[in-house]
Amino acid sequence: MARKYLTAILLLAVLLCACSSKDKDFYRPYSGNPSDTRSPVADKEARLGAYSDDVVVIRDNEYYPVQNIEAPVALGFRVSDGEIVLCKNGYDTFMPGNLTKMFVAYYVLTNYDIYKDVKVDSDIFSIDSSLWAARFTRNDELRLKDLIYGGLLYCANDVFIPISDATTGSLNSLAVATNDMLRGMGAENTSLMNCYGVASAGMQTNIYDTLMFLKTALKNDDILKIMCSASYSCEYSNGGVNMSVKWKNALPYFSQEGYETASGLRVVGGICEDASLEPTQMLVIARDDEGELYAAFTAGASSYDACKRSIEEILQQISKL
């Protein structure tokens, strides 16, 4: 009988220890660090704050000042902490367009040596010539970094062929790897069918996923440096002959003195296709007088002018903070 009681006591002790361990894990905020052993009762507010850093809550349109935004989807937020200033139709899906290039560029920048030398091979000519922009030719040699500049700053589609050759081995595998990365960052409704953003069945993202990505990507020094460049001189060679090409940032603000906006904010970076292509999507990074960075994004506008008006409205709302 005594042995039975002893066994029961030992079993109860084991269960209590297990529950204690579970409680400690339950109360501990997510940090990604399994060695975090903070007391479950200490600094409650700090722990809740740390947990909420990973939580994004997008409210209904009625909560945000979106009345004057023409584009169907829009986003404005503070880069330092991800605080949303404005959001329109946060869960509606749309074609990611040139945002795709940024997704892919971030994946490459954070997983590969961007100073790696790349030689363009014959596969570059397999892509539809209507997608050509950078127009590198067979046996051109340049760095992976230069190709990324061509994709982001110049919005060239064809550079992603040699980028994929030098990284995952194919355009398809690069798109798959980027999809996996986005899911790991919290994206829930993004699916890339190609690496350069051309409309395709099944290709989609939404503002929620875009915010989850940009909160991290815009803190990357390499991404910011590219997006904040007014122009870039790409140096390359072919058969020992040195050549160069200069790409300009197509943001409309970069053609203005000081890059000032009507809101008084100063645009310091972003991505957009050339106005001649009538783009309806734009990402802008702006700085206020105190040095705080903000991001404004919109997609799916009815025209290029409507796209610009929507961005300006977002910047106006940011300036009222």
Model pLDDT, residue 136: 83
Model pLDDT, residue 292: 94
The answer for residues whose C-beta is within 8 angstroms of residue 99's C-beta and 6 or more apart is 197, 205, 210, 281, 283, 297, 299
Amino acid, single-letter form, for residue 83: E
The answer for residues whose C-beta is within 8 angstroms of residue 136's C-beta and 6 or more apart is 120, 124, 142, 158, 159, 162, 236
Q: Which tokens belong to 253?
A: 């603000």
User: How far is the C-alpha of 166 from the C-alpha of 170, rounded, in Å?
Assistant: 9
Model pLDDT, residue 128: 54
Model pLDDT, residue 259: 66
Q: Which tokens belong to 72?
A: 């169907």
Contact 89, 73 (CB under 8 A): yes
Model pLDDT, residue 124: 54
pLDDT tens, position by position, 142-171: 999 999 999 999 888 889 989 999 999 999
Collapsed DSSP state (helix, strand, coil) of residue 205:
strand
Q: What is the greatest pairwise CA distance in the chain?
A: 93
Contact 265, 294 (CB under 8 A): yes
Q: Which tokens belong to 260?
A: 């000032």
Model pLDDT, residue 201: 93
Domain boundaries, the chain: 68-319
Model pLDDT, residue 158: 86
Amino acid, single-letter form, for residue 66: V
Model pLDDT, residue 253: 83
The pTM (predicted TM-score) of the whole model is: 0.80
Contact 286, 315 (CB under 8 A): yes
User: How far is the C-alpha of 154 from the C-alpha of 157, rounded, in Å?
Assistant: 9
User: How far is the C-alpha of 263 from the C-alpha of 315, rounded, in Å?
Assistant: 6
Tell how far CA 76 is from the center of its chain: 14
How big is the chain, counted in residues?
321
User: How far is the C-alpha of 273 from the C-alpha of 280, rounded, in Å?
Assistant: 9
Contact 246, 77 (CB under 8 A): no
Contact 212, 56 (CB under 8 A): yes
Collapsed DSSP state (helix, strand, coil) of residue 121:
coil
The whole-number mean pLDDT for each consecutive block of 10 residues of the chain, a chain of 321 residues, reads 47 43 29 34 38 68 95 97 96 96 97 94 57 76 95 90 92 95 94 92 96 95 93 92 91 71 83 91 94 96 96 94 82
CB atoms within 10 A of CB 57: 8
pLDDT tens, position by position, 5-20: 444 444 444 444 444 3
User: How far is the C-alpha of 80 from the C-alpha of 91, rounded, in Å?
Assistant: 23
Which CATH number applies to 68-319? 3.40.710.10
